[in-house]
Structure 1
Amino acid sequence: MGIHVIKMPDIGEGIAEVELVEWHIKVGDEVHEDQVLAEVMTDKATVEIPSPVSGRILALGGEPGQVMAVGGELVRLEVEGAGNHREAAARPHESTAAPSAEAQPEPAPQAQKEAPRAEAKPAPAPRPAAAAPAPRRAPGEKPLASPAVRQRARDLGVELQFVQGSGPAGRILHDDLDQYLAHGGAVVASGYAARHDEQQIQVIGLRRKIAQKMAEAKRRIPHFSYVEEIDVTDLEALRVHLNAKYAASRGKLTLLPFIARAMVVALREFPQLNARYDDEAEVITRYGAVHLGVATQSDSGLMVPVLRNAESRDLWGNAAEVARLAEAARHGKASREELSGSTITLSSLGALGGIVSTPVINHPEVAIVGVNRMVERPMVVNGQIVVRKMMNLSSSFDHRVVDGMDAAAFIQAVRALLEHPATLFLE
C-alpha cells in the first residue's frame, strides 16, 4: 500500500487560491476514481474537485471556509501500489497500522513509538470508545435524519441541530433522540415559553462572496437611486395575448424579456450606462453588446447569471435563455463563464417586489434596473378614474460615471417603450 496526495488543482484564469466550501467525503471513506471529493469556490463560481485515483481517505487538508492555495495538499489517501508521496516508501509499515491509528491524519508513526510508554497508564484506554459517535456538525450544517425521525422530533419539540447522530455519516436515529431526552436534552415547549438557544452560522462559500461583493460595491460606488412609475396595462395585455397564441409552441413569456428588450433599445441612446468602470485605472469601457446580468435567488444566496448578447435574441429566445441560466444557478451548475462578464444588471423580486427597492450595483458595472411588484391601482386617464396595472422601476447608478439627468432620461425611455409596447420592435 502507498500514500497518494491530491493537491489543490490549478483551476485556471490565474487563480492562486480558492475557498474550501464543502467536503463530500470524510476520513476513513473509500473513494473511487472521478468521485467528487470537495467543492471549492473562486471569485466567479463553485467548482467540484474529483479524485484522480481510488483509495481510502487518510486526512483532509482543511476545513470548510478555509482559503487554500493552489498546489496545497487537499486530500491524502491510502492506495494500492507505491502512491505518489515520497515518504510512503520510507514508512511501509503504516499500511498495516491499526484502524484507530489510520483514522488520524498525521501522527500514526509517532503514536507507534510512544505506545510502550503509555501501556502502564489506564487513562488512554477509553479514547477509542470516544471515537464511536459521528463527528460534530459544522456551524450551519443541516442535520441528517429520516422523515420519521424529523416528524418525531417535531412532535417532541426537539431541535435536531442539537442532537448528536450515531448513524452513518452522522445520521440521527430514534435511539439518538431517546439518548438526548434521557440526558436532559432541552424540549421546546408549546405556547409562549421563552427561548434561550443560539445558533452560530459560519459565513463561507457563496454567502461569503456575496457579503464581500456587496461590501465592496457599497464602499467603492457612490449610489444614486431613481424610481419611476410605469403603466404596464397594455404590455400585460400583449403578454397574455402572445402566451395564449404561442405558449404551446414557443414557450411562456414573463414580463422579464419585455423589460430586457426595452433596456436593449434604450441603451442605444444611452450607451454610457452599458459600461464597466475600472476605478483603479480610471477607465470606463462602454459595450455595444448588452450582456445582461439577471439577479437570481438560489438556496445558497444571490447569483447573477449573464444573458449574453441580449440584443441578438427575440422575446422567446431571451425568455428561454433566462430560464436555462436561472435553473443552472439555482442548482449550483452555472459555469464561471455564465456568471461573469455582465455589462448591466436587471434585478426582480417578482411577486415579493414591494413598492420601492434600492438595488446594489453589481461592481464594476455602473447601473442596475430593479423591478417592483405589478399591482392594480385607480389612476386618472383622460379625466376618468380607471383601474390600471402599475409597476415601479427602482434603479441605481454609479454617480461617478452616470449623471442624474442621464439616469432619469434612460428610465423614462424604458418607461415609454413599455407603455407603448409596439415600439419595442421598431428598428
Structure 2
Amino acid sequence: MGETQFALPDVGEGVAEGELVAWLVEEGERVEEDQPVAEVETDKAIVEIPAAYDGVVTQLHAEAGEIVPVGDVIVTFDVDEEGSTTESDTESATADADRGGNDGDAAGDETDAAVTEGTGTVDTPTDRVFAPPSVRRSAREADVDLATVPGSGPGRRITGDDLRAAITGRSPPDGQDELTASEGGSMATPGGSMASGGTPTDADDGPPAGENGRTRSDPTVGGSDGVGARNADRDRTLAMPATRELAREEDIDIDAVPASERRDGEAYVTPEDVRAYVAGETGVDASASGSGVDDGTTGSGPAAAGGASSGTESEAGTEADTEGTQLGDRIPYRGVRRTIGERMATAKYTAPHVSHHDEVDVSDLVETRERLTASTTEDAPRLTYLPFVIKAVVAGLRAQPILNAELDEAAEEIIVHDSYDIGIAVATDAGLMVPVVEDADEKGLLELAAEVRDLAARARNRTISPEELQGSTFTITNLGAIGGEHASPIINYPEVGILALGEIKRKPAVHEGEVVPRDLLTVSMSVDHRVVDGADAARFTNEVTRYLNNPDLLLLE
C-alpha cells in the first residue's frame, strides 16, 4: 500500500484536540494493527491511540507535550501490502473509550483518521467494527468474527462482555464494562489503608489485599514482585506514561519488567515494579531508591482537603501530583486539570453555598466495624467505614428528600430524584474524579465496599467509563485520611448538597454522665441555599449522625 499518513482520530464526543503525552513507538519500528503508538490526554481522559495498519513507522509528526488538533497527521506508516487494502480491513483507529474519561461525556461518533498520502481524504468505512485492542486480540484467539458481535458500548463499541457473550451464547450483563476487575475478581485498589486510631481514609478506604493496597496478579502475568525477578518477556505491557518514562530513564525494556497487577486481563506495570526490577539488576535495595513517581498506592492514600471541582472538591493528591514541581515552574493549565477548574468555578459561583458542621460519637461504629470485619471470610471485600457512611447518607436523604435534588433553572423547577446515586470523590494523579455508586439504597455493606473499591481503582488508573462519572444525586468526600476535621466543600453541581468526612479522633467526651475517651467524627456539609434551607441541612445531618451513632440501625437498612 506504500506510505500512509495517520491523523489523530476523534477520541470522543466534543474533543477537538489532545496533548501528546508520550510516543510508544519510534521511527523505524515495525508495528501491528491495534498496537498502541501514542498516549494522548484530552480534557476527558488519557487514551492510547492504536495503529490502523501493519507496517513500519517512517515519521513521527509531533513531539511529546505538543497539543495536536483532531485530524492533524501524527504518524506516517509504510504499510504492508496485506496490511490494509480494503475498507473492511481498516478497523477503528480510535482510542479505547472504555478506558475512561471525565465529565460524563460518552465517547461516540468515532472516525478512523487514516489519511492516504496523495489524496488527503479521510477513510471512513460505514461497516467498521469498534472494539478496543484487547477485545480484538481475544476475538482472534477465539476465532470469532467481530463483525458478527453486537456491541453494547458507546457508539456500538464491542466490549469484553459482548465478546464473551458471543462465545458462550449468553447475553452480556446490562451496563457491565469489560474493565471492571482483574481475573481474580477484584480490581487493584491504590491507597486508602486505614490509619491508626480508626481514621477513615480515601474514597476506597483501604486496599483489598496485598502490601501497599495492591492486588497481586497471577504468577503467569509476569513473575513475582520480588527483587531480582526473572524477565517477563511480554509482547505488550500496560503502564502509565510516567512509568514508561521511568523505564526509559533506567534504560530497561518495560516488557521485561515483571508486573504486579493485571488490568483488563493484561500485565500492568507500576513504578514500584520498575524500581524493583532495577534493584534486582543492580543489587540495590528497591526500598531505598525513593518514592519516585507515585501511582497512587501509598500507604494512607490521598484524601480530600475541602473545596471542589468537576462537581467535586479539591483534594490532596498523591505524591505524583507534586513531586518534581519546583519553585518558579510554569505548569500548563489544560486537559483534565482545566476541566476540573472550570467546573469548580461554575459550582462555586452558580450555587450560593452555606455550610453546616457537626460532630458524632462513632465509638459503637468503630466496634461494629471491627466485629463485622472479624466475622467476614478471607475472600470478602474489606469492610471500611465508607459503606456505613453511604448507608447513613441514604437514610438522611430519605428523611430529607430536598437534599436529593437539583435545580433546573431553565424549566424553573426543583427536580427531586427518585433514586439514590451517591458520588464518591476520588483523588487521581490528574485531579479529582467522582465515580457514582448507583442505587446505593439497594446494596448491602459488603456490596458497597466492593463497588467503591473497584470504582476508585478504575478512576485512578483512568479506565473508568464516562457513564460511571455522571448522574450522581449527592456526593461524599473525605478529608480525614491526611488529617483535619472541618471543611467547606464545594457542591458537585448541579447537586444541592455534599458531605465531607473529617478524621476520627479519640477525644474526651461526656458519655452516660461521665467524661471518657470516645471516638469522634466531624462531618461538614455544604448546600445550595437556593434550594436547601439551613434547617433542612441541620435535619439531614442529624439523621446521618443518628445512624452513625447507632450502627445497628444501619444493619436494618
Question: Is TM (by shorter chain) over 0.5?
Answer: yes
Residue 88 (structure 1) aligned with residue 87 (structure 2): no
Q: Residue 163 of structure 1 corresponds to which residue in structure 2?
A: none
Counterpart of 2:481, as a letter, is A
Counterpart of 2:342, as a letter, is Q
Between Structure 1 and Structure 2, how many residues are aligned?
336
Counterpart of 2:350, as a letter, is R
Task: Write the distance in 2 (CA, Å) between the matches of 1:21 and 1:284.
Answer: 42
Task: Write the distance in 1 (CA, Å) between the matches of 2:479 and 2:348.
Answer: 20
8 A contact 1:291–1:344 mirrored in 2: yes
Deviation at 1:332, TM superposition (A): 1.6
Q: Residues 116-159 of structure 1: CA distance to partner in whole angstroms, max 9, x if unpaired?
A: xxxxxxxxxxxxxxxxxxxxxx9xx967522689999xxxxxxx
Q: Residues 309-330 of structure 1: CA distance to partner in whole angstroms, max 9, x if unpaired?
A: 1111100000000011111112
Task: Write the distance in 2 (CA, Å) between the matches of 1:351 and 1:328.
Answer: 20
Task: Write the distance in 1 (CA, Å) between the matches of 2:484 and 2:452.
Answer: 22
Deviation at 1:416, TM superposition (A): 0.8
Deviation at 1:424, TM superposition (A): 2.0
Task: Choose from 487, 490, 496 the match for 1:357.
Answer: 487
8 A contact 2:40–2:48 mirrored in 1: yes
Aligned-partner SS, 2:399: coil
- Flag the 1:281–1:33 CA change in 2: closer, same or farther, 3 A: farther
Deviation at 1:291, TM superposition (A): 1.3
Aligned-partner SS, 1:388: strand
Deviation at 1:375, TM superposition (A): 0.3
TM-score under structure 1 length normalisation: 0.69
- Flag the 1:67–1:227 CA change in 2: closer, same or farther, 3 A: farther
What aligned pairs does 1:245-260 form with structure 2 within 5 A after superposition?
Answer: 245-248=375-378, 250-260=380-390
What aligned pairs does 1:128-139 form with structure 2 within 5 A after superposition?
Answer: none
Deviation at 1:22, TM superposition (A): 1.9
Task: Write the distance in 1 (CA, Å) between the matches of 2:407 and 2:72.
Answer: 34
8 A contact 2:36–2:50 mirrored in 1: yes
Aligned-partner SS, 1:3: strand
Q: Residues 134-187 of structure 1: CA distance to partner in whole angstroms, max 9, x if unpaired?
A: xxxx9xx967522689999xxxxxxx9xxxxxxxxxxxxxxxxxxxxxxxxxxx
Residue 320 (structure 1) aligned with residue 436 (structure 2): no
8 A contact 1:34–1:53 mirrored in 2: yes
Q: Residue 374 of structure 2 corresponds to which residue in structure 1?
A: 244
Q: Residue 274 of structure 1 corresponds to which residue in structure 2?
A: 404
Deviation at 1:341, TM superposition (A): 1.7
**Which range moved further: 276-285 or 212-221?**
276-285
Q: Larger C-alpha radius of gyration, 1 or 2?
A: 1
Q: Residues 256-314 of structure 1: CA distance to partner in whole angstroms, max 9, x if unpaired?
A: 00000011111112222122334455443322221111111122322211111111110
Q: Residue 145 of structure 1 corresponds to which residue in structure 2?
A: 249
Name structure 1 gaps, 5 residues minimum: 91-137, 153-159, 161-195
% identity of equivalent residues: 38
8 A contact 2:40–2:46 mirrored in 1: yes
TM-score under structure 2 length normalisation: 0.54
Counterpart of 1:200, as a letter, is R
8 A contact 1:376–1:390 mirrored in 2: yes
8 A contact 1:20–1:62 mirrored in 2: no
Greater percentage in helix: 1
8 A contact 1:45–1:339 mirrored in 2: no
8 A contact 2:42–2:335 mirrored in 1: no
Q: Residue 14 of structure 2 corresponds to which residue in structure 1?
A: 15
Q: Residues 56-109 of structure 1: CA distance to partner in whole angstroms, max 9, x if unpaired?
A: 15243686473734x55454433234986454389xxxxxxxxxxxxxxxxxxx
Counterpart of 2:53, as a letter, is V
Q: Residue 109 of structure 1 corresponds to which residue in structure 2?
A: none
8 A contact 2:43–2:335 mirrored in 1: no
What aligned pairs does 1:104-253 form with structure 2 within 5 A after superposition?
Answer: 144-146=248-250, 198-248=328-378, 250-253=380-383
Task: Write the distance in 2 (CA, Å) between the matches of 1:4 and 1:279.
Answer: 50
Q: Residue 60 of structure 1 corresponds to which residue in structure 2?
A: 61
Residue 4 (structure 1) aligned with residue 4 (structure 2): yes
Task: Write the distance in 1 (CA, Å) between the matches of 2:327 and 2:542.
Answer: 51
Q: Residue 49 of structure 2 corresponds to which residue in structure 1?
A: 49
Task: Write the distance in 1 (CA, Å) between the matches of 2:422 and 2:11.
Answer: 26
Counterpart of 2:79, as a letter, is V
Counterpart of 1:88, as a letter, is G
Q: Residues 371-416 of structure 1: CA distance to partner in whole angstroms, max 9, x if unpaired?
A: 0000010012233111110000111111122111111111111011
Counterpart of 2:515, as a letter, is I
- Flag the 1:273–1:63 CA change in 2: closer, same or farther, 3 A: farther
Q: Residues 313-357 of structure 1: CA distance to partner in whole angstroms, max 9, x if unpaired?
A: 100000000011111112221111222221111101343141111
8 A contact 2:5–2:117 mirrored in 1: no
- Flag the 1:41–1:271 CA change in 2: closer, same or farther, 3 A: farther
What aligned pairs does 1:62-77 form with structure 2 within 5 A after superposition?
Answer: 64=65, 66=67, 68-69=69-70, 71-77=71-77
Deviation at 1:370, TM superposition (A): 0.5
8 A contact 2:4–2:117 mirrored in 1: no
Task: Write the distance in 2 (CA, Å) between the matches of 1:339 and 1:34.
Answer: 27
- The alignment's C-alpha RMSD in Å is 3.4
Counterpart of 2:14, as a letter, is I
Q: Residue 79 of structure 1 corresponds to which residue in structure 2?
A: 79
